[in-house]
A = this chain, B = another copy of it.
């Protein structure tokens, strides 16, 4: 039995808690929180401990799932904890992955532990599909589309605008762009051609709606490069229609083979997810199993999804896998 500790009990932590219930070889040993443990109630009556007590539970835990944020939590937590525990995180600041990898790798090697970073679906399953498809078709073009789904970063950006009480932003891939890519014509697509952004906003009483809309659609980095639509709705509509966190997307590679490049091929991987945090947690749970197995074989250091042979993810034996899934 693999004993898992959750560090940080937000949406992702609750997703890990639920995902572990679907395994027969893994269980939740405890939740560790920076909040006062007496104020945190888990959904499955698992004990909650203070982060300060973590080292006292070292012997009860085979791996820690770090559920903090990529901006400030994980760059500190993952290397710090990798010295004493096997760890896995979902660090998703793409540009800073090399730096994060280096600091986590040093810590994990020092402690003789395994750390997996940047696990989830992007980075994660989408990255894996980019790697497989690029290895198979060296001459081709890559495309990643996201959505339809809620972008928390874009929703937060809207919430910071004066007069906004609440907001939800959906990223939507453009169907005609997807079809152009699938045709194998290898189109060059601008940011605007690939995705649209749809915003649902609850305004504070008396707020200037036209001003809010203008601030959204003209916001640099977040919205100005996209065709953006803004809908003002009531707090009740927000609660009724936009309380979930769906997401998904498409990774497509098109490429050519043959002595004269006469044959086209399209490799497509897509996800349609009702719950982004629960699916991310499900991916992390499978890779946590792999991390503990690798550690038992004597491996140490930082790994990514690229470094894990797929058989390690499954509770089935190699023999069962070859019989049932090959």
Contacts and interface: CB of A to CB of B under 8 A. Distances in A.
B272 A182 contact: yes
A282 B138 CA distance: 9
Interface residues of A, number: 70
A233 interface: no
Interface string A271-287: 11111001101110010
A227 B275 CA distance: 38
Nearest to A250: B268
A269 B18 CA distance: 25
Interface string A257-298: 111001111111111111100110111001001000000000
Interface string A123-135: 1010111111011
This chain: copies in complex: 2
A132 B313 contact: yes
A55 interface: no
A265 B259 contact: no
Given A44-B259, A257-B279, A125 B131 contact: no
Interface stretch (A149-157, A167-175, A301-309): A301-309
Nearest to A138: B22
Interface of A: 15, 17-19, 21-23, 43-44, 94, 97-98, 101, 118, 123, 125, 127-132, 134-139, 182, 257-259, 262-275, 278-279, 281-283, 286, 289, 304-311, 313-314, 318-319, 321-323, 325-326
Question: Which are the 3 A-B pairs with shortest beta-carbon distances?
Answer: A263-B274, A135-B313, A263-B275
